[in-house]
Copies of this chain bind each other. A is one copy, B any other.
Amino acid sequence: MRVVNVGLPLFGDAVRAQGAAAVEVDWRIPASGRPELVAALQRLYGPVSERVDAANREVVRRLDEGAPVLLGVAPAVQVVPGMDDRTVLHCGPPLAWEDFCDPLRRSARASILAEGWAASPDEAERLVAAGRVRLEPANHHAAVVPMATTVGPSAPVFVVENPHGGNRAYSGINQGPGATAWFGQDTPEAVDRLVWLRDVAAPVLHATLAATGPVELLPFVVQGLQMGDDVHMRTQAATNLFLRHLLPALVTVGAPGLADVARFLSGNHLFFLNLAMAAAKAVTDSAAAVPGSSVLVGMARNGTTFGIRLAGTGDAWFVAPAPPVGRALYHPGFGPEVSAPDIGDSAVLELIGLGGPAAAASPVVAAFLGGTMADAVATTEAMARICAGRSSRFKLPLLDFRGTPVGVDARRVVELELTPSINTGILHASAGTGQVGAGVAEAPLACFQQALVALDEHLR
C-alpha cells in the first residue's frame, strides 16, 4: 500500500505507524473553509475567472511596463491635485485625528510648525482639534509618503510622470536620518529639517533637475536589485547610482547651501526611497483604472490601520488594524514593547515587485529574515505564490535572474491565507524618539477577505 495524505498529517502518521509509506501534501482548506469566502472564491475562480484573469493580466502589464520619469521638485500646493493651503497629507488610509498614532501625530504637528501655522506642538494640536487643518491621505492625492511622513502645502515634492498611463505621482523629499518628522518626531530639530528641505535642499534639487532634464527612475531600481537593494528597506545602491547620475549637474548649480545639501545627500542612503515610491504610485494609479481585477493597486498604513485597494473595487479602502512589525532587529535598548505598529505608504513598493518580493536580492534584508540568503529567497517565493505575474525587468540573480513577483492577487491571499511581506522600519510608539528598528510586517488577512467579498459583489 502506498499512501498520499492530503491535509492533516495525523492520517499519514497513522499509516506510517503501521509500517507503510505515506507522502504528505501540504494542503489546507482554502480560506479556512469560511463559507462566505469559499463562496466568493468559487465564483472568482469559477464563472468570472476569465474576466478576472484578463483584468489581472492588464493590471500586471501596467505595473510591469510603466516607466516613470522624474520631472522636478515643486511645493506641494502648486502641483498636487486637490491640495489647498490648509491641507496636510499623511500616510495610510483615511483616519480621524483622534485615532492618529503618536508618531504620525507628532509628524503632523512638525509639518504645521514648519508651515508657520503654530508656534508650538501644543498650539498645532489645538489647531487640528479646532478643524483648522485639513488632514488628507496622500494616497487620495496621487501621492505617497514613507513612514510617518506628512506633507504641508509649502513642503517640496518630487513630480513623477508615468508616460504609459498619462498620469503623475508625488512624494516628499526623503528627510534622512536622525531627529526627523518622518520618524515621528516634532522636536525643533525635526521642524528645522523640514524647513531646511523646503528652503535650501529643494531649490538645489530643482536647479539640478532643471539641468539634467527628466530622469527615468526605474533603471536605477533595475540595477539596484543587482547590487543588494530590495529597493524598500535598502536603497543604498539605487541612491548612489542616482546621485552619480546627478553629480555633473549638482556641482554646477551654484545655489546657496550646496555644501549642506551635498552633506545631506552623502549621509542619506534612503534618498532614493521616496523616488521609488513615487514611481510605484504612478504605475499603481495607472493600473487602478482596470475594472474587474483582483490585483492590489493600493496598500498603505497609518500606524493605526492597514488598508488595501483593488483595481476591481474602485476607490474603496479595506482596512484592518495595523499589524506589529515582526522578524525585527532593534536598535540597542529597544524592543517590540515600545514599537509602533506598521506605518507608511512605502508598501506600495511591494505591489510592483520590490521590497518583500525582492527580498532574495538583498543580503541586508536577509539579516531580518533568518540570516541566510535561503531565508530571503523563501520570502520571495512566498510572495510568488500570491502574485499574478513576474517582473520582466526586476531580476533576481539568486533565482537565475527570474523576475520578482508582481501583482498581489487578493484571491490567492485569501485562498492560501498568505499575506504580503513588507520590509519596513519601526518607530517608537509613544516617546517621539524616532526609529527604533526595522523588520518585516505581515499584512493583516482581514482586509483581503473584505476586499474579496466586495469584488465578488461587484462582479455579480
What is A's interface to B at a CB cutoff of 8 Å? 226-228, 236-237, 239-241, 243-245, 247-248, 250-252, 258-259, 262-263, 265-266, 363-364, 366, 371-373, 397-398, 400-401
A400 to chain B: closest residue by CB: B372
| B227–A237 CB distance below 8 A | yes
Cβ–Cβ contact A252 & B258, under 8 A:
yes
**Interfacial chain B residues near A227, Cβ < 8 Å:** 227-228, 236-237
Q: How far is the CA of A364 from the CA of B237 in the complex (A)?
A: 15
Give the residue among A247, A266, A364 with the most B Cβ atoms within 10 A: A247
A244 touches B240 (CB 8 A): yes
7 further A-B pairs in the complex, CB-CB below 8 A; given A245-B266, A248-B263: A226-B228, A228-B237, A237-B237, A237-B240, A248-B266, A252-B259, A373-B397
Contact pick for A265, options B226, B237, B240, B247, CB 8 Å: B247
Nearest 10 interchain pairs by C-beta: A240-B240, A363-B397, A227-B228, A227-B227, A251-B262, A248-B263, A247-B266, A248-B262, A252-B259, A247-B262
Instruction: List the number of copies, as a whole number.
Output: 2
**Which residues of the other chain, B, contact A372 by a CB distance below 8 angstroms?**
400
Q: Which of A237, A244, A366 has the most chain B CB atoms closer than 10 A to its own CB?
A: A244
Residues on B with beta carbons closer than 8 Å to the beta carbon of A245? 266
Q: How far is the CA of A258 from the CA of B249 in the complex (A)?
A: 11
Bound: A243/B228 CA distance, A: 18
Q: Which chain B residues border A266 with CB–CB below 8 Å?
A: 244-245, 247-248
Q: Cα distance A400–B376 when bound, in Å?
A: 12
Q: Within the complex, which residue of B226, B228, B240, B258 is in contact with A364, where a contact is CB–CB below 8 Å?
A: B226
Chain B neighbourhood of A366, CB < 8 A: 397
Helix, strand, loop or mixed for chain A's interface? helix
* Residues from chain B with Cβ under 8 Å of A263 in the complex: 247-248
- A401 contacts which chain B residues (CB < 8 A)? 363
Supply 28 A–B pairs (Cβ within 8 Å), ascending by A: A226-B363, A227-B228, A227-B236, A228-B228, A228-B237, A228-B397, A237-B237, A239-B244, A240-B244, A243-B244, A243-B247, A244-B265, A244-B266, A247-B262, A247-B263, A247-B266, A250-B251, A250-B262, A251-B258, A251-B259, A252-B258, A252-B259, A363-B397, A366-B397, A371-B400, A372-B400, A373-B398, A398-B398
Q: Which of B236, B237, B248 contacts A259 (CB 8 A)?
A: B248
B residues in contact with A262, CB < 8 Å: 247-248, 250-252
B residues near A226, Cβ cutoff 8 Å: 228, 363-364
Provide the bound-state CA to CA distance between A405 and B372, in Å.
19
> How far is B269's CA from A240's CA once the two chains are assembled, in angstroms?
11
When distances are taken between beta carbons in the complex, the residues of chain B under 8 Å from A250 are 251, 262
Distance between Cα atoms of A244 and B270 in the complex (Å): 13
A291 to chain B minimum Cβ distance, whole angstroms, is 39
- Complex: A233 Cα to B241 Cα, angstroms: 18
**A252 neighbours in B (Cβ, 8 Å):** 258-259, 262
User: For residue A224, which residue of chain B has the nearest CB?
Assistant: B227
Closest Cβ of chain B: how far from A223's Cβ, in Å? 8
Chain B minimum-CB-distance residue to A237: B227
Q: How far is the CB of A269 from chain B (nearest CB, A)?
A: 8
In the complex, how many angstroms separate the beta carbon of A383 from the nearest chain B beta carbon? 19
Q: Which residues in B have their C-beta under 8 angstroms from that of A244? A: 239-240, 243, 265-266
A364 cross-chain contacts in B, Cβ below 8 A: 226
A400 to B250, CA, bound (A): 39
Residue numbers in B under 8 Å from A247 (CB-CB):
243, 247, 262-263, 265-266
CA A455 – CA B109 in complex, angstroms?
A: 73
Query: Is B243 touching A241 in the complex (CB atoms < 8 A)?
Result: no
Bound-state Cα–Cα, A398 to B373, Å: 6
Closest B residue by C-beta to A260: B248
Q: Compute how far the CA of A194 lies from the CA of B266 in the bound complex, rounded to whole angstroms.
A: 29
Give the shortest distance, in Å, between A97 (CB) and chain B (any CB): 39
Give the Cβ gap from A165 to chain B, nearest Cβ, in Å: 30
Residue of B nearest to A263 (CB): B248
A297 to B371, CA, bound (A): 34
